[in-house]
Amino acid sequence: MSTVTETISAAMVKELRDKTGAPMMDCRSALAEAKGNLEEAIVVLRKKGMASAAKKASRTASEGAVGTYIHAGGKIGVLLEVNCESDFVARTADFQDMLKDIAMHIAATDPRYIRKEDVTAEDMAREKEIYRAQAAATGKPAPVVEKIVEGKMSKFYEEVCLLEQPFIKEQTVTISQLIAQKIGKLGENIVVRRFARFKVGDTNWTVAQTKTSVEESAS
């Protein structure tokens, strides 16, 4: 009787690689772990990518590149800085494609922050107050109200924080997971540092920047 590994064809491995961008050996291993199920193999790779990203998160990312995206006949523009650990990786096609994809995503979704940790205390307090008042008006007990507030805050973060948003080109993947996949493939820490989004005629243009570790420890 043939093993699962023996039944995994080169075409299956290539299809998984095309879908995820993961190395061939990782794709074969994921397919073996998922017993040949492509969708389950994608989940396996995403989990490994997030684990790899977590391990590399403490490493300094001082290189990188600035990307741009212009949309709607020049009516919307995005300027984006993404950092990595080496200039070599910053110049790879994988990194440059990711840079363009994230800039395009920002043009489409207009996030206000990069991470949940970057949301101001004022914005967080205001949203919680609104959600708590709405939930309390239903007459539900306090513990239930707090659960509702927690759920609504998760949705709020998804709406306003870049890393929490579903990627516009693949809704099952968040921007954070997209970056984790690239970290797993390129082997370096990758960080969205800052971006600016402009729209013709709109004076409320968006500028967002990731807090540094110094700023976070002081806040």
Q: Mean pLDDT, consecutive 10-residue segments, the chain of 219 residues?
A: 62 80 78 87 74 63 92 92 94 96 96 94 92 88 88 92 95 92 88 95 87 47
216 exposure class (CB count in 10 Å sphere: 0-12, 13-18, 19+): exposed
4-56: CATH topology is Helicase, Ruva Protein; domain 3 (1.10.8)
- The packing angle between helices 10-20 and 24-33, to 10°, is 110
Delimiting residues of CATH 1.10.8.10 domain(s) in the chain:
4-56
Both structure tokens of 95: 């990194």
Delimiting residues of CATH 3.30.479.20 domain(s) in the chain:
63-117+161-218
Which regions of the chain does DSSP assign to beta strands (E)? Answer: 63-71, 76-84, 166-167, 170-174, 191-199, 206-209
Q: pTM (2 decimals)?
A: 0.72
Q: What is the pLDDT of residues 116-165, one digit of tens each?
A: 999 999 999 999 999 989 888 988 888 888 899 889 999 999 999 999 99
